[in-house]
Amino acid sequence: MFDALARQADDPLLALIGLFRKDERPGKVDLGVGVYRDETGRTPIFRAVKAAEKRLLETQDSKAYIGPEGDLVFLDRLWELVGGDTIERSHVAGVQTPGGSGALRLAADLVARMGGRGIWLGLPSWPNHAPIFKVAGLNIATYDFFDTSSQSVIFDNLVSALEGAAPGDAVLLHASCHNPTGGVLSEAQWMEIAALVAERGLLPLVDLAYQGFGRGLDQDVAGLRHLLGVVPEALVAVSCSKSFGLYRERTGAIFARTSSSASADRVRSNLAGLARTSYSMPPDHGAAVVRTILDDPELRRDW
């Protein structure tokens, strides 16, 4: 039966990693996966992460499953970092995921389960966005988001795309540090987009992978928080890979901003069910590290 499978094209980003490894030139520069590198080309571990891991090593007394929803304290602390006090916590459903990719996949599956027909995707975008949405069964509509020659966001194109979207369509937005261009929306642009999304009855799916890498921890989510205060429903996919340097620990979460605690409970049960049939339980270690750091004032300051 395996002979019936067609050879799939390699992911261009992953193929670049292979080319880099085979290149024997000493001055080579890795432009593949977006991870932090120091001047020697290494990806160091945060001092605060090491301290948290040491504490976990000494105090952790169980390796039992943590359940499909994941570490609930981690979810609370992470949402405080992302959403602040914009939305009443009981109106927010959260599920821990294997990285930001897992969060995006659960979000796409949830949109499909709700009867969502498609999602609007600005180009260029992270290479795995479209495949994730496609495999979840969503139709993808695209528009040009960034002009490489002027190195600027084509805001009029974004507005036109949203004006042409049908009520119930999802739209992907980058909270900050747009991947891969680095493009940033201004405060005024976020306000216009939030009003338009609410007016058109669209469902924003916000990808947050670089909080703190642009203008600062709070500044990088200011537009997102404004959006959450305007729209009745939204999805936020969060990655801890960059902000905490936890790339290989696959630590992330999907949050849903809902209009009531009852709605949040329904969304949470669906996200947990989707997780159960996909990977069952999320990995614990990275989330435990993040929880430990955010719970301790000294570690948090050092982070």
pLDDT for 200? 96
Per-residue b or e along 248-262, where b marks 16 or more CB atoms closer than 10 Å to that residue's CB = ebbbbbbbbbbeeee
Q: Which residues pair with 142 in a beta bridge?
A: 121
The single-letter DSSP state of residue 10 is: P
Query: Of 236, 229, 244, which is closest to residue 288 (Cα–Cα)?
Result: 244
Instruction: Over range 193-198, report the average pLDDT.
Output: 98
- pLDDT tens-digit profile of 43-79? 999 999 999 999 999 999 999 999 999 999 999 999 9
How far is it, in rounded angstroms, from Cα 63 to Cα 65? 7
The ranges assigned to domains in the chain are 72-302
Q: How many Cα atoms within 13 Å fall on the side-chain side of residue 247?
A: 11
* Residue 150 vs residues 156, 183, 256: alpha-carbon distances, Å: 15, 11, 35
Cβ neighbors of 20 (< 8 A, separation 6 or more) are 28, 30, 32
What percent of the chain stands above pLDDT 90? 89
CB neighbour class for 182 (10 Å; exposed up to 12, middle 13-18, buried from 19): middle
Q: Is the pLDDT assigned to residue 21 strictly greater than 80?
A: yes
- What pLDDT, on a 0 to 100 scale, did the predictor assign at position 300? 98
Other CB atoms within a 10 A radius of the CB of residue 176 amount to: 26
Mean predicted confidence (pLDDT) in 221-232:
98
Confidence category of residue 29, pLDDT binned at 50, 70, 90: confident
Residue 116: per-residue pLDDT: 81
pLDDT category at 174 given cuts 50, 70, 90 is: very high
The confidence score (pLDDT) of residue 191 equals: 97
Q: Per residue in 154-167, pLDDT tens?
A: 999 999 999 999 99
Q: Is the pLDDT of residue 153 over 80?
A: yes
pLDDT at 10: 80
Specify the amino acid at residue 78: L
Q: Which fold has domain 72-302?
A: Aspartate Aminotransferase; domain 2 (3.40.640)
Phi, psi of 92 (to 5 degrees): -115, 125
Per-residue pLDDT at 34 = 79
CA-to-CA distance for 128 and 241, rounded, in angstroms?
A: 16
For residue 155, what pLDDT is reported?
97
Query: Is residue 11 predicted with pLDDT exceeding 90?
Result: no
Which region among 29-33, 281-285, 291-295 has the lowest average model confidence (pLDDT)? 29-33
* Whole-number pLDDT of residue 106: 98
Catalytic residues: 126, 207, 209, 242
Q: What local confidence, expressed as pLDDT, does residue 41 receive?
A: 80
Q: Is the pLDDT of residue 112 over 80?
A: yes
* Rounded average pLDDT over 3-10: 92
Quick one: pLDDT at residue 38?
87
What pLDDT is stored for residue 35 in this prediction?
86
13: pLDDT strictly greater than 80: no
Mean pLDDT of the chain: 95
- What is the average pLDDT across 241-251? 97
Taking every pair of C-alpha atoms in the chain, what is the biggest distance, in angstroms?
Answer: 59
CA dist list (Å): 113 to 43, 98, 106, 116, 273: 38, 20, 10, 7, 11
